[in-house]
Amino acid sequence: MSEHLMQTYARQPVAFVRGEGVWLYDEAGDKYLDAVAGVAVCGLGHAHPRLARALCEQAATLIHTSNLYRIPLQETLADKLCALSGMDRAFFCNSGAEANEAAIKLARLHGHNRGIDNPAIVVMEKSFHGRTMATLSATGNRKVQAGFEPLVGGFVRVPFGDADAVAKLAEYHNNIVAVLVEPYQGEGGVQIPDADYLVKLRQICDGNGWWLMLDEVQTGIGRTGRWFAFQHSGIRPDVMSLAKGLGSGVPVGACLASGVAADTFVPGKHGSTFGGGPLACRAALTTLEVMAEDGLLDHAQAMGELIKSNLATALEGVPGVREIRGQGLLIGIELDRPCGDLVKQALARKCLINVTSDNVVRLVPPLVIDRDEVNHLTAVLADLIRAFLA
Ligand SMILES: *Cc1c(COP(=O)(O)O)cnc(C)c1O
């Protein structure tokens, strides 16, 4: 391990040098089934031939020009994302945190435009929005914030999944401009709210003139079996942030907006040197193309159901398994005790899994995972969980 890396990660002692589909190969040539997918990033799996070809071609043609000029691939990607989501305009950046920064700035600017000089944004307990100063301040996890005070102000926090708590805020705050929420919480332990949660939030926002801003950094781009998780509930947000799965591993983020929100930024108000460059946009466009042509939304939905039913059968009646839940290929298995050790145990069995919120095994495999691969993953995992809880 290099002495010259800042110690920001507790890494597993393994390095992958090559990948193919859901499989990763280490330096010794051993292969691992990857149910982490770069943390919900590599939707097309590793080394997808079409993505690889598109990136090689693009790198040999043009990588970067800056936003001082028109970027046709960025325009095409904006058109495509708006067509898929029903949103009106996109701003491109390079990560989830940056996409949320854009959303937060947009909401604050909207407040100021309406004469609210201390605009506040409603955020949720157990939420995760990123590691920049504004996004870690919006995040509902003290571990992410501790040591970085003073935090950025202007956030009001309520429990996730509780629409009434959001509605109540209107009684004693007159400076709220927006609600920022993940449709399903990922880092917060794969939390799935009631099916009508977003519908209720939409109504509350409409009733008070607030924006509904969805952090779909983890849930977007097919992860939950639809292009965007909000499409399970039939509403449309004012603002939506995307990143993780958008470029299938090439860094690209986006903040999409509809209605008034789409026209709130004017030249000079926001920007990014790298955002929306030709290479990243080519990666995103190819990702969306392959997903549509290969029917990966329905496939993700079907494979997610298979994972849940396999695990439900294999773990039926096992004491210590609290809940198996999820939507599409965002799946959590909540145990009654901290289970970080399972990551190492799974690694020894050549499966990559992730544990979040201390006691929730999170599965976010590539969307291309097939039936046999699912059956292998769930067999190994059920084995490990049963032994771990015994
Ligand atoms: C991962 C994640 C982020 C942060 O994305 P980065 O690309 O790491 O900045 C923000 N919001 C959600 C919901 C995420 O899952």
d(CA 106, CA 117): 14
Q: For residue 274, what are the domain limits?
A: 52-293
Task: Report the DSSP beta bridge partners of residue 215.
Answer: 241
DSSP single-letter state for residue 152: P
Query: Do 209 and 78 lie in a common domain?
Result: yes
Which tokens sit at 198? 């977003």
In the chain, alpha helices (H): 37-40, 49-59, 72-85, 96-113, 133-138, 142-145, 163-172, 197-208, 278-293, 296-314, 341-348, 371-389
Per-state percent for the chain, helix, strand, coil, to nearest 5: 40, 20, 40
Query: Do 25 and 99 lie in a common domain?
Result: no
Is 134 within the bounds of a domain?
yes
How much distance in Å is there from the Cα of 313 to the middle of ligand 1?
32
Query: Do 262 and 322 lie in a common domain?
Result: no
- Answer yes or no: are the C-beta atoms of 210 and 270 closer than 8 Å: no
**Verdict on whether the full-model pTM lies above 0.75:** yes
Is 281 within the bounds of a domain?
yes
How much distance in Å is there from the Cα of 335 to the middle of ligand 1?
24
Query: Do 287 and 304 lie in a common domain?
Result: no
Ligand 1 atom 5, closest CA: 96
Q: Which residues line ligand 1 (CB under 6 A)?
A: 95-97, 100, 128-130, 182, 186-187, 215, 217-218, 243-244
End residue of a domain, out of 293, 313, 331: 293
Tell me the pLDDT tens digit for each residue of 28-72.
999 999 999 999 999 999 999 999 999 999 999 999 999 999 999
Query: Do 62 and 181 lie in a common domain?
Result: yes
Is 46 within the bounds of a domain?
no
Query: Do 145 and 217 lie in a common domain?
Result: yes
Determine if residue 227 is left, alpha or beta; phi over 0 gives left, psi from -120 to 50 gives alpha, anything else beta: alpha
Query: Do 130 and 198 lie in a common domain?
Result: yes
Q: What's the pLDDT score for residue 95?
A: 98
End residue of a domain, out of 262, 293, 324: 293
Number of domains forming the structure of the chain: 2
Is 259 within the bounds of a domain?
yes
DSSP single-letter state for residue 301: H
The minimum-distance atom of ligand 1 relative to the CA of 96 is 5
- Answer yes or no: are the C-beta atoms of 46 and 367 closer than 8 Å: no
pLDDT lower than 70: segments of the chain: none
CA 177 to chain centre: 23
Q: What's the pLDDT score for residue 33?
A: 98
Is 135 within the bounds of a domain?
yes
Residue count (the chain): 390
Residue keyed to tokens 């970085």:
148
Query: Do 148 and 131 lie in a common domain?
Result: yes
Angle formed at CA 160 by CA 156 and CA 163, multiple of 5 degrees: 85
Is 47 within the bounds of a domain?
no
Residue 108 maps to which CATH number? 3.40.640.10
Ligand 1 atom 10, closest CA: 129
> CB atoms < 10 A from the CB of 367, how many?
31
End residue of a domain, out of 275, 293, 311: 293
DSSP single-letter state for residue 159: -
Is 333 within the bounds of a domain?
yes
How much distance in Å is there from the Cα of 1 to the middle of ligand 1?
26
Query: Do 282 and 347 lie in a common domain?
Result: no
For a substitution probing ligand 1, which of 93, 94, 144, 218 has the most ligand atoms within 8 Å of its CB?
218
Query: Do 266 and 380 lie in a common domain?
Result: no
Residue 373 maps to which CATH number? 3.90.1150.10
Q: What's the pLDDT score for residue 1?
A: 79
- Answer yes or no: are the C-beta atoms of 163 and 298 closer than 8 Å: no
Q: What's the pLDDT score for residue 10?
A: 92
> CB atoms < 10 A from the CB of 337, how many?
10
Query: Do 59 and 21 lie in a common domain?
Result: no
Query: Do 127 and 190 lie in a common domain?
Result: yes
Q: What's the pLDDT score for residue 49?
A: 98
